[in-house]
Amino acid sequence: MTEQNTVTAKTSFDENGVVIIGAGLAGWHVIDAIRSKDKDIPITLITADSGDRYHKPMLTMAISQNKRVADLVRATGADAAKTANITLLADTQVSDIDAAAQQLHLVSATRSDPANMAYATLGYDKLVLAMGAHPIFPKSLPENLVWHVNHIERFGQLQEKLGLGSQRVAIVGAGMVGTEIAEDLLKAGHKVTLLDLNDAPLAQMLPAKATARIAKAIESQGIQFLGGYQVTNVNRNDDDTLTLSYESLKNNSESTENQPTSLIVDHVIASTGLIVDDKLPAAAGIEFDRRTGIVVDASTLQAQSSQIQSNPIYAIGDCMSIDGVACRYVAPLRAQAATIADDILGTDHSGYEHKPPMIRLKNKAISVMVVGTPQADGNWQVTTESEDELVMDLIKDNKVSATVTIKAPVVIKP
């Protein structure tokens, strides 16, 4: 890509300029990338919250470090907007996109009578969707009874409740986030139960030989792991505790007579995956998959649609997918944002080249590092196996498409 301090855009802009929907890491990265090359092009950032800048991956390790919301916020939305010379529309939601007219319909996220208040409109020259993804709450996990830590506001509310002393916490979903939160809460002094549909943590990503080591490591810390179980209900009790009911997914031949079918806990946290809201992609007429998100061109990150070829809409981060794979890791965001900035400004660039990021589990009980594109099912082959280390390669089309390295933690003796 061409490196310049200031770029005169080849694309003409009127007063509407660039509009970005979503003030998470992805949205702010796009702003940073544009401002590094053009200090004056109008930019408007629309967000349903305050727009504060913070590093979301820190949420899964902040409770044990006793970091409050104020400690995690790097800059308030208002201060960050002033520094970047942009217009911030905080506490505002986009209800509709008219791609043909290049116009957004906006509503206040804080108003009390949305059905009776007129919609505001905002035009744009270039539009970037950085709206992220939302936690999935199965019917068995009522949203009003269950926490998530996908946003700093909910994290702060949970942290306040957990500050009342040692609590009993059930975490539903043992992917990376659920497994990391489980250790974080345990280190903070809470009693933790981790439940998953699969027999081991990270089972949707890694082979059984690898995940068995992860399960053993977290259980050795004192985390109760219940693998192969499905939550059937969560109910609030008279004493404000919660009853979490679950059932075994194992074969009927395996006896479960002596196993409990419910837990009494103080809190339930859902870590059951993410989904992208289809309302805005559908309104804009862009190609969309509800599981993986907005379909984009792999080189330009332009959303795919026959209706908007002359006025492309871009997507970045959790809400978009490349070649059918959701892009929900932080590491590629800078490169994605740089590509979008160059494309918007009309700067010559070589296009975005997606490279799967290195994935590291934050847990201290065991070191887990993954490179490539892992998938649980496949031809995994062991290259190193000892008590302290396991290395496995995923072979696809006679090539290594992913490698997982699992090591026992290094113990530093005094």
| 322/219 same-domain check | no
| Rounded Cα gap, residues 72 and 240, in angstroms | 30
Do residues 384 and 391 lie in contact, with contact meaning Cβ atoms separated by under 8 Å? yes
| 225/298 same-domain check | no
| 26/85 same-domain check | yes
Residue 142 in domain: no
Kindly report the number of other CB atoms within 10 A of residue 30's CB atom: 27
Looking up residue 372, the CATH number of its domain turns out to be: 3.30.390.30
| 182/88 same-domain check | no
Residue 7 in domain: no
| 243/283 same-domain check | no
Q: What is the pLDDT along the chain (414 residues), one digit of tens a residue?
A: 333 333 333 344 456 899 999 999 999 999 999 999 999 999 999 999 999 999 999 999 999 999 999 999 999 999 999 999 999 999 999 999 999 899 999 988 666 555 545 568 999 999 999 999 999 999 999 999 999 999 999 999 999 999 878 999 999 999 999 999 999 999 999 999 999 999 999 999 999 999 999 999 999 999 999 999 999 999 999 999 999 999 999 865 554 555 669 999 999 999 999 999 999 999 999 999 988 999 999 999 999 886 666 788 999 999 999 999 999 999 999 999 999 999 999 999 999 999 889 999 999 999 999 999 999 999 999 999 999 999 999 999 999 999 999 999 855 444
| 233/306 same-domain check | no
pLDDT in tens, 216-258: 999 999 999 999 999 999 999 999 999 999 999 986 555 455 5
What pLDDT was estimated at residue 123?
A: 94
| Rounded Cα gap, residues 73 and 63, in angstroms | 15
Looking up residue 219, the CATH number of its domain turns out to be: 3.50.50.60
Out of 247, 270, 293, a domain closes at 270
Residue 301 in domain: yes
What DSSP letter does each residue of 306-374 carry, written as one string?
SS-SSS-EEE-GGGEEETTEE---STTHHHHHHHHHHHHHT---------PPPEE---SSSEEEEEE--
Exposure b/e, 173-207, CB count within 10 A at least 16 = b? bbbbbbbbbbbbbbbbebbbbbbbbbbbbbbbbbb
| 257/286 same-domain check | no
Nearest by Cα to 41 from 115, 128, 103: 128
| 392/341 same-domain check | no
Residue 412 in domain: no
| 328/377 same-domain check | no
| Rounded Cα gap, residues 120 and 108, in angstroms | 9
| Rounded Cα gap, residues 375 and 359, in angstroms | 13
Do residues 39 and 143 lie in contact, with contact meaning Cβ atoms separated by under 8 Å? no
List the strands of the sheet with 242-248, edge to edge.
229-236, 242-248, 262-265
| 300/242 same-domain check | no
Residue 143 in domain: no
| 22/86 same-domain check | yes
The predicted model scores a pTM of 0.90
Show the DSSP H helices in 111-252 as ranges: 152-162, 176-187, 208-221
Out of 205, 236, 270, a domain closes at 270
Residue 353 in domain: no
Domain that holds residue 175: 152-270
Do residues 55 and 12 lie in contact, with contact meaning Cβ atoms separated by under 8 Å? no
Q: Which two tokens stand for residue 326?
A: 């959701």
Residue 1 in domain: no
**Structural domain count of the chain:** 3
| Rounded Cα gap, residues 186 and 222, in angstroms | 8
SS3 state of residue 7: coil
Residue 257 in domain: yes
Write the single-letter amino acid at 354.
H
| 106/60 same-domain check | yes
Out of 254, 270, 286, a domain closes at 270
Nearest by Cα to 86 from 36, 150, 39, 50: 39
Nearest by Cα to 265 from 148, 143, 171, 140: 171
Q: Which residues contact 72 (CB under 8 A, 6 or more apart)?
A: 54, 55, 58, 59, 62, 152
Give the phi and the psi of residue 227 in degrees, each rounded to 5: -100, 145
